[in-house]
Structure 1
Protein backbone atom coordinates (compact mmCIF):
# COMPACT_ATOMS: atom_id res chain seq x y z
CA UNK A 1 0.00 0.00 0.00
CA UNK A 2 1.45 3.36 -0.98
CA UNK A 3 1.83 6.24 1.45
CA UNK A 4 -0.10 9.41 0.74
CA UNK A 5 1.66 12.73 0.67
CA UNK A 6 0.98 14.89 3.71
CA UNK A 7 0.15 17.75 1.36
CA UNK A 8 -2.77 15.77 -0.06
CA UNK A 9 -5.95 16.74 1.79
CA UNK A 10 -8.76 14.95 -0.07
CA UNK A 11 -10.78 12.38 1.82
CA UNK A 12 -12.37 11.05 -1.38
CA UNK A 13 -9.97 8.41 -2.62
CA UNK A 14 -10.25 5.43 -4.93
CA UNK A 15 -7.95 2.48 -5.35
CA UNK A 16 -6.59 2.00 -8.88
CA UNK A 17 -5.76 -1.33 -10.55
CA UNK A 18 -2.26 -1.39 -9.03
CA UNK A 19 -3.65 -1.03 -5.52
CA UNK A 20 -2.52 2.58 -5.09
CA UNK A 21 -4.89 5.26 -3.88
CA UNK A 22 -5.60 8.37 -5.92
CA UNK A 23 -8.06 11.27 -5.70
CA UNK A 24 -11.52 10.38 -6.98
CA UNK A 25 -12.72 12.02 -10.18
CA UNK A 26 -16.05 13.90 -10.16
CA UNK A 27 -17.85 11.22 -12.19
CA UNK A 28 -16.59 8.51 -9.81
CA UNK A 29 -17.97 10.45 -6.84
CA UNK A 30 -21.35 10.89 -8.60
CA UNK A 31 -21.51 7.20 -9.51
CA UNK A 32 -20.72 6.23 -5.91
CA UNK A 33 -23.42 8.62 -4.65
CA UNK A 34 -25.94 7.11 -7.08
CA UNK A 35 -25.08 3.60 -5.83
CA UNK A 36 -25.60 4.69 -2.21
CA UNK A 37 -28.90 6.43 -2.96
CA UNK A 38 -30.12 3.56 -5.14
CA UNK A 39 -29.28 1.18 -2.30
CA UNK A 40 -31.46 3.27 0.01
CA UNK A 41 -34.24 3.40 -2.56
CA UNK A 42 -34.33 -0.32 -3.45
CA UNK A 43 -34.77 -3.24 -1.13
CA UNK A 44 -37.10 -4.60 1.48
CA UNK A 45 -38.09 -1.25 2.98
CA UNK A 46 -41.27 0.37 1.72
CA UNK A 47 -40.75 3.69 0.01
CA UNK A 48 -41.14 5.91 3.06
CA UNK A 49 -38.65 8.67 2.35
CA UNK A 50 -39.53 10.97 -0.52
CA UNK A 51 -36.26 12.81 0.14
CA UNK A 52 -34.18 9.72 -0.78
CA UNK A 53 -36.05 9.51 -4.10
CA UNK A 54 -35.55 13.24 -4.70
CA UNK A 55 -31.81 13.03 -3.94
CA UNK A 56 -31.45 10.08 -6.33
CA UNK A 57 -33.32 11.93 -9.09
CA UNK A 58 -31.38 15.18 -8.61
CA UNK A 59 -28.14 13.31 -9.27
CA UNK A 60 -29.54 11.04 -12.00
CA UNK A 61 -31.49 13.62 -14.05
CA UNK A 62 -30.79 17.08 -12.65
CA UNK A 63 -27.81 17.91 -14.84
CA UNK A 64 -28.84 16.31 -18.12
CA UNK A 65 -29.01 18.52 -21.21
CA UNK A 66 -31.81 16.47 -22.79
CA UNK A 67 -35.19 15.32 -21.53
CA UNK A 68 -35.63 11.82 -20.12
CA UNK A 69 -38.91 10.17 -19.11
CA UNK A 70 -38.48 7.44 -16.49
CA UNK A 71 -40.53 5.16 -14.27
CA UNK A 72 -40.01 4.08 -10.69
CA UNK A 73 -41.72 0.70 -10.44
CA UNK A 74 -43.24 -0.21 -7.07
CA UNK A 75 -44.74 -3.40 -5.68
CA UNK A 76 -47.97 -3.61 -3.68
CA UNK A 77 -46.16 -2.49 -0.50
CA UNK A 78 -44.57 0.49 -2.32
CA UNK A 79 -41.14 -1.14 -2.36
CA UNK A 80 -39.00 -0.11 -5.30
CA UNK A 81 -38.78 -2.82 -7.94
CA UNK A 82 -36.74 -0.81 -10.43
CA UNK A 83 -35.94 2.57 -11.95
CA UNK A 84 -36.18 2.53 -15.75
CA UNK A 85 -35.45 5.34 -18.20
CA UNK A 86 -38.03 4.75 -20.91
CA UNK A 87 -37.64 7.61 -23.39
CA UNK A 88 -34.97 10.13 -24.31
CA UNK A 89 -35.76 13.39 -26.06
CA UNK A 90 -34.27 16.73 -27.01
CA UNK A 91 -33.51 19.80 -24.92
CA UNK A 92 -37.18 20.73 -24.69
CA UNK A 93 -39.32 17.63 -25.28
CA UNK A 94 -39.54 13.87 -25.40
CA UNK A 95 -42.12 11.55 -26.90
CA UNK A 96 -43.82 9.20 -24.44
CA UNK A 97 -45.87 6.25 -25.64
CA UNK A 98 -48.55 5.09 -23.15
CA UNK A 99 -48.65 1.61 -24.71
CA UNK A 100 -44.95 1.12 -23.94
CA UNK A 101 -45.38 2.39 -20.37
CA UNK A 102 -48.21 -0.11 -19.80
CA UNK A 103 -46.16 -2.96 -21.33
CA UNK A 104 -43.16 -2.10 -19.14
CA UNK A 105 -45.35 -1.97 -16.03
CA UNK A 106 -46.85 -5.37 -16.75
CA UNK A 107 -43.45 -6.89 -17.56
CA UNK A 108 -42.14 -5.82 -14.14
CA UNK A 109 -45.37 -6.78 -12.35
CA UNK A 110 -45.70 -3.25 -10.94
CA UNK A 111 -48.56 -2.41 -8.60
CA UNK A 112 -47.79 1.30 -8.72
CA UNK A 113 -45.56 3.78 -10.52
CA UNK A 114 -43.93 7.12 -9.94
CA UNK A 115 -43.57 8.93 -13.26
CA UNK A 116 -40.47 11.08 -13.62
CA UNK A 117 -39.09 13.43 -16.23
CA UNK A 118 -36.63 16.28 -16.28
CA UNK A 119 -36.69 19.82 -17.64
CA UNK A 120 -33.20 20.80 -18.82
CA UNK A 121 -34.40 24.43 -18.90
CA UNK A 122 -34.15 24.51 -15.11
CA UNK A 123 -37.84 25.37 -14.67
CA UNK A 124 -39.77 22.72 -12.76
CA UNK A 125 -43.22 24.04 -13.70
CA UNK A 126 -45.21 21.39 -15.58
CA UNK A 127 -46.51 22.25 -19.03
CA UNK A 128 -50.08 21.65 -20.09
CA UNK A 129 -48.72 18.75 -22.18
CA UNK A 130 -47.14 17.28 -19.00
CA UNK A 131 -50.50 17.46 -17.22
CA UNK A 132 -52.34 15.86 -20.14
CA UNK A 133 -49.75 13.09 -20.45
CA UNK A 134 -50.06 12.34 -16.73
CA UNK A 135 -53.84 11.96 -17.01
CA UNK A 136 -53.52 9.80 -20.14
CA UNK A 137 -50.99 7.50 -18.44
CA UNK A 138 -53.03 7.37 -15.24
CA UNK A 139 -56.13 6.29 -17.21
CA UNK A 140 -54.26 3.72 -19.31
CA UNK A 141 -52.52 2.21 -16.28
CA UNK A 142 -55.75 2.08 -14.27
CA UNK A 143 -57.12 -0.36 -16.88
CA UNK A 144 -54.47 -2.88 -15.78
CA UNK A 145 -54.68 -2.04 -12.04
CA UNK A 146 -51.43 -0.06 -11.84
CA UNK A 147 -51.71 3.07 -9.70
CA UNK A 148 -49.83 6.28 -10.51
CA UNK A 149 -48.67 7.66 -7.15
CA UNK A 150 -46.92 10.77 -8.44
CA UNK A 151 -45.28 12.49 -11.38
CA UNK A 152 -42.06 14.29 -10.51
CA UNK A 153 -40.48 16.99 -12.65
CA UNK A 154 -36.73 17.39 -12.06
CA UNK A 155 -35.16 20.74 -12.96
CA UNK A 156 -31.63 20.94 -11.63
CA UNK A 157 -31.95 20.74 -7.84
CA UNK A 158 -35.67 21.61 -7.90
CA UNK A 159 -38.25 18.84 -8.02
CA UNK A 160 -41.97 19.44 -8.45
CA UNK A 161 -44.49 16.82 -7.32
CA UNK A 162 -47.82 16.57 -9.15
CA UNK A 163 -49.33 14.89 -6.06
CA UNK A 164 -48.23 17.72 -3.75
CA UNK A 165 -49.64 20.27 -6.22
CA UNK A 166 -52.98 18.47 -6.43
CA UNK A 167 -52.47 17.70 -10.13
CA UNK A 168 -53.11 13.97 -9.83
Structure 2
Protein backbone atom coordinates (compact mmCIF):
# COMPACT_ATOMS: atom_id res chain seq x y z
CA UNK A 1 0.00 0.00 0.00
CA UNK A 2 1.33 3.43 -0.91
CA UNK A 3 1.78 6.05 1.78
CA UNK A 4 -0.01 9.35 1.14
CA UNK A 5 2.09 11.94 -0.70
CA UNK A 6 2.52 15.29 1.02
CA UNK A 7 3.83 18.44 -0.59
CA UNK A 8 6.65 19.76 1.55
CA UNK A 9 7.35 23.45 1.86
CA UNK A 10 10.96 23.71 3.05
CA UNK A 11 10.23 27.15 4.45
CA UNK A 12 7.32 25.95 6.63
CA UNK A 13 8.99 25.05 9.91
CA UNK A 14 5.74 23.70 11.34
CA UNK A 15 6.03 20.54 9.25
CA UNK A 16 8.45 17.70 9.88
CA UNK A 17 9.69 16.72 6.41
CA UNK A 18 10.34 13.01 6.15
CA UNK A 19 12.21 10.85 3.68
CA UNK A 20 13.00 7.18 3.35
CA UNK A 21 16.25 6.19 5.01
CA UNK A 22 18.50 3.34 3.83
CA UNK A 23 16.22 0.74 5.48
CA UNK A 24 13.14 2.16 3.74
CA UNK A 25 11.78 3.73 6.91
CA UNK A 26 10.72 7.34 7.16
CA UNK A 27 13.04 9.65 9.06
CA UNK A 28 12.74 13.36 9.80
CA UNK A 29 15.09 15.70 7.94
CA UNK A 30 16.64 18.76 9.52
CA UNK A 31 16.53 22.12 7.75
CA UNK A 32 20.26 21.72 7.03
CA UNK A 33 19.69 18.30 5.42
CA UNK A 34 16.92 19.71 3.25
CA UNK A 35 19.13 22.57 2.06
CA UNK A 36 22.02 20.17 1.39
CA UNK A 37 19.75 17.94 -0.70
CA UNK A 38 18.35 20.94 -2.60
CA UNK A 39 21.89 22.07 -3.39
CA UNK A 40 22.79 18.56 -4.61
CA UNK A 41 19.80 18.59 -6.97
CA UNK A 42 20.65 22.05 -8.32
CA UNK A 43 24.34 21.13 -8.73
CA UNK A 44 23.32 18.00 -10.66
CA UNK A 45 21.30 20.16 -13.05
CA UNK A 46 24.32 22.45 -13.59
CA UNK A 47 27.11 19.88 -13.80
CA UNK A 48 29.40 19.84 -16.83
CA UNK A 49 27.77 18.05 -19.76
CA UNK A 50 24.28 18.40 -18.36
CA UNK A 51 21.39 19.26 -20.63
CA UNK A 52 21.11 22.76 -21.94
CA UNK A 53 20.02 25.28 -19.35
CA UNK A 54 16.25 25.24 -19.66
CA UNK A 55 15.12 27.01 -16.54
CA UNK A 56 16.39 30.46 -15.62
CA UNK A 57 14.69 29.90 -12.27
CA UNK A 58 16.79 26.81 -11.53
CA UNK A 59 19.96 28.72 -12.37
CA UNK A 60 18.94 31.62 -10.14
CA UNK A 61 18.13 29.27 -7.25
CA UNK A 62 21.41 27.43 -7.71
CA UNK A 63 23.48 30.60 -7.72
CA UNK A 64 21.58 32.06 -4.79
CA UNK A 65 22.16 28.93 -2.69
CA UNK A 66 25.79 28.75 -3.83
CA UNK A 67 26.59 32.37 -3.01
CA UNK A 68 24.01 33.69 -0.54
CA UNK A 69 26.14 33.39 2.58
CA UNK A 70 29.43 34.65 1.18
CA UNK A 71 30.83 37.64 3.04
CA UNK A 72 32.83 38.92 0.06
CA UNK A 73 32.09 39.45 -3.62
CA UNK A 74 32.76 36.62 -6.04
CA UNK A 75 32.49 37.03 -9.82
CA UNK A 76 32.07 33.91 -11.93
CA UNK A 77 30.97 32.36 -15.18
CA UNK A 78 28.87 29.47 -16.37
CA UNK A 79 30.74 28.52 -19.52
CA UNK A 80 28.39 27.01 -22.09
CA UNK A 81 28.80 25.14 -25.37
CA UNK A 82 26.97 26.11 -28.57
CA UNK A 83 23.87 24.22 -27.39
CA UNK A 84 23.98 26.01 -24.02
CA UNK A 85 25.06 22.93 -22.09
CA UNK A 86 27.26 23.61 -19.08
CA UNK A 87 30.97 23.13 -19.74
CA UNK A 88 32.14 24.46 -16.40
CA UNK A 89 31.19 26.78 -13.57
CA UNK A 90 34.17 28.90 -12.63
CA UNK A 91 34.80 31.57 -10.03
CA UNK A 92 36.97 34.15 -11.80
CA UNK A 93 37.57 36.77 -9.11
CA UNK A 94 37.07 37.19 -5.38
CA UNK A 95 37.13 40.54 -3.68
CA UNK A 96 36.01 42.41 -0.62
CA UNK A 97 32.59 43.18 0.83
CA UNK A 98 31.84 45.69 -1.91
CA UNK A 99 33.82 44.73 -5.00
CA UNK A 100 35.94 42.29 -6.95
CA UNK A 101 38.59 43.16 -9.53
CA UNK A 102 37.62 41.61 -12.87
CA UNK A 103 39.96 41.96 -15.84
CA UNK A 104 38.53 41.43 -19.35
CA UNK A 105 41.84 39.98 -20.58
CA UNK A 106 41.69 37.24 -17.90
CA UNK A 107 38.02 36.55 -18.61
CA UNK A 108 38.74 36.10 -22.34
CA UNK A 109 41.62 33.73 -21.51
CA UNK A 110 39.37 31.68 -19.24
CA UNK A 111 36.61 31.55 -21.88
CA UNK A 112 39.03 30.33 -24.54
CA UNK A 113 40.52 27.81 -22.12
CA UNK A 114 37.02 26.42 -21.45
CA UNK A 115 36.33 26.36 -25.22
CA UNK A 116 33.09 28.21 -24.50
CA UNK A 117 30.62 29.37 -27.15
CA UNK A 118 28.53 31.32 -24.66
CA UNK A 119 28.63 32.48 -21.06
CA UNK A 120 26.34 33.51 -18.25
CA UNK A 121 28.15 35.74 -15.77
CA UNK A 122 27.20 35.99 -12.11
CA UNK A 123 28.36 37.75 -8.99
CA UNK A 124 27.03 38.30 -5.52
CA UNK A 125 26.33 41.39 -3.47
CA UNK A 126 27.07 40.54 0.18
CA UNK A 127 25.07 43.63 1.20
CA UNK A 128 21.87 41.72 0.45
CA UNK A 129 20.79 44.07 -2.35
CA UNK A 130 20.70 42.50 -5.82
CA UNK A 131 20.39 45.81 -7.62
CA UNK A 132 23.18 46.09 -10.24
CA UNK A 133 25.52 49.04 -9.90
CA UNK A 134 26.68 51.25 -12.76
CA UNK A 135 30.06 49.52 -12.45
CA UNK A 136 28.34 46.12 -12.88
CA UNK A 137 26.61 47.33 -16.04
CA UNK A 138 29.79 48.89 -17.46
CA UNK A 139 31.82 45.73 -16.75
CA UNK A 140 29.19 43.55 -18.44
CA UNK A 141 29.28 45.71 -21.55
CA UNK A 142 33.10 45.63 -21.65
CA UNK A 143 33.12 41.85 -21.27
CA UNK A 144 30.45 41.45 -23.94
CA UNK A 145 32.52 43.58 -26.32
CA UNK A 146 35.78 41.75 -25.55
CA UNK A 147 34.24 38.28 -25.85
CA UNK A 148 32.42 39.28 -29.04
CA UNK A 149 35.82 39.69 -30.69
CA UNK A 150 36.37 35.94 -30.28
CA UNK A 151 32.75 34.96 -31.07
CA UNK A 152 31.66 34.10 -27.53
CA UNK A 153 28.11 35.23 -26.72
CA UNK A 154 27.35 36.81 -23.34
CA UNK A 155 23.81 35.64 -22.57
CA UNK A 156 23.29 37.32 -19.22
CA UNK A 157 24.82 38.61 -16.00
CA UNK A 158 23.00 37.74 -12.79
CA UNK A 159 23.50 39.74 -9.60
CA UNK A 160 22.78 37.49 -6.63
CA UNK A 161 22.17 38.16 -2.95
CA UNK A 162 20.88 36.14 -0.06
CA UNK A 163 18.06 38.54 0.75
CA UNK A 164 16.55 39.12 -2.70
CA UNK A 165 15.97 37.26 -5.95
CA UNK A 166 18.76 37.45 -8.51
CA UNK A 167 18.57 40.35 -10.97
CA UNK A 168 19.14 39.65 -14.67
CA UNK A 169 20.85 42.41 -16.62
CA UNK A 170 19.54 40.87 -19.86
CA UNK A 171 15.93 40.97 -18.63
CA UNK A 172 16.37 44.64 -17.75
CA UNK A 173 17.90 45.48 -21.12
CA UNK A 174 21.21 46.51 -19.54
CA UNK A 175 23.51 44.34 -21.61
Q: Shared fold (TM-score greater than 0.5)? A: yes
Moved more, 33-42 or 108-117: 33-42
Moved more, 35-44 or 59-68: 35-44
RMSD: 2.1
SS at match of 2:108: helix
| C-alpha contact (below 8 Å) 1:110/1:146 kept by paired residues | yes
Distance 1:101 1:112 in 2: 12
Distance 1:14 1:89 in 2: 41
TM norm structure 1: 0.82
Please list every run of 5 or more consecutive structure 2 residues that lacks an aligned counterpart in the other structure.
Answer: 1-15
Distance 1:86 1:125 in 2: 21
2:61 to 55, 60, 84: 55
SS at match of 2:18: coil
Q: CA deviation at 1:45?
A: 1.7
Residue 36 of structure 1 pairs with residue 35 of structure 2: no
1:151 to 157, 161, 172: 157
Distance 2:74 2:50 in 1: 27
Q: CA deviation at 1:81?
A: 1.0
TM norm structure 2: 0.79
